[in-house]
Amino acid sequence: MNTERMKNLFQSRTFRILAVCIGAFLLLIAVWYVFFSGGKSQSTGEYKPTTLEERLGQLLEEIEGVEGASVMIGEEDGNAVSAVVIIRGDFGLVTRMRVIDATANALHIARQDVLVYPADN
């Protein structure tokens, strides 16, 4: 008798609708957790710069016209291959060229592998 009740329950349209709604709700919760709350600790706002990035940022702040600098170094097999620099202060051509030259020379990479952007003041 028990198996007959279970069979009737699974064949019931109300049960199937309820099961689909519960499944959709669980899927919604999982998507919300993954995309809207679970990944907050991995956002770029919480990036911890390496010692080399901090030292290079401090070096770049010594350049005339640069009031502040943040550096992110791209690495492959432990070697620097590119750098992104965000500077505060003067964003003129001469300042940008000095930042590019200093970064490329400090990391032993090509000048075209250094990207410099102004900070959002």
Residues 36 and 92 in one domain: no
Residues 30 and 85 in one domain: no
Residues 28 and 59 in one domain: no
Residues 13 and 60 in one domain: no
pTM of structure: 0.62
What's the length of the chain? 121
Domain that holds residue 17: 2-40
CB atoms within 10 A of CB 119: 13
**CATH at 79:** 3.30.300.30
Structural domain count, the chain: 2
Residues 78 and 21 in one domain: no
One digit per residue, the tens of pLDDT, for the chain of length 121 reads: 688 887 777 788 888 889 899 999 999 998 888 888 755 555 556 778 999 999 999 999 999 999 999 999 999 998 999 999 999 998 999 999 999 999 999 999 999 999 999 998 6
